[in-house]
Amino acid sequence: MIKDVFKRRFNELEDSFSQIKFEKSEYSGLFSQDGSWQGWSVSAQNLLKAVFEENSPHYTRFVQAYDECNRQHGGISLVSTLQNIFLSAKEDFEADCVFDVDLRISGEVFGDFVALARQSMLDGHKDVAAVLACAALEDALKRYAAINLLDVNDKTMQEVVNSLKTKGLVAGAQKTLLDAMPKIRNLAMHAEWSKISEPDVSSVLGFVEQFLLTKFSPN
């Protein structure tokens, strides 16, 4: 999973910080004379951005500290501040104090599919929109099921839907609407275009958008 990759990268960067070399300046204090702190910081910043997003306290504070450290040419106290922010972020990540990154990143990808499907509908390509919308929904359902520890490998969309309903992961109006989705998906994947109407495609798009909002967003 994506989360496992991030966890490994956090550990790698924590270990690699010890390789930053500090030397005494001719003026005062210890500084990273070879600029090795910058390479580490860029990698750490990229990781924090991927995990927490740009508007998160961890990321914004790290960027501010990096800018200050850059102005002061890598003094040890400022580089240590960067390390402390990084370690704080790592602790929150490991303690599951952040929104599940697997869901968030998956949601962003599926969102792109939905946007493309919407555009296809506007351009008059109903069949293309049907395939994109159904593919996005099926993948989103399987991803959501897998993250909730359901075995959905090689399962049909109907089986995935049944598993989600049995475990209570979809309910209410969402559960009722979801019952109609596998039929539309099967028609789209078997190119039975005459049996799929624009309202059918719109219903899939509307459902997958709502599903992403409720299951793949932090709020």
Place of tokens 């790290």: 62
What percentage of the chain has pLDDT greater than the value 90?
24
CA 133 to chain centre: 19
Token digits of residue 182:
């596998």
Q: Give the Cβ contact number of residue 163 at 10 Å.
A: 18
- What's this model's pTM, rounded to 2 decimal places? 0.53
Rg (CA), the chain: 23
Which pLDDT band holds residue 103 (cuts at 50, 70, 90)? low
Q: In this predicted structure, which of 68-72, 85-89, 127-131 has the lowest mean pLDDT?
A: 68-72
Per-residue pLDDT at 195 exceeds 90: yes
Query: How many residues are recorded in the chain?
Result: 219
Q: First CA to last CA across the chain, in angstroms?
A: 22
Quick one: 14 exposed, middle or buried, by C-beta within 10 A (0-12, 13-18, 19+)? middle
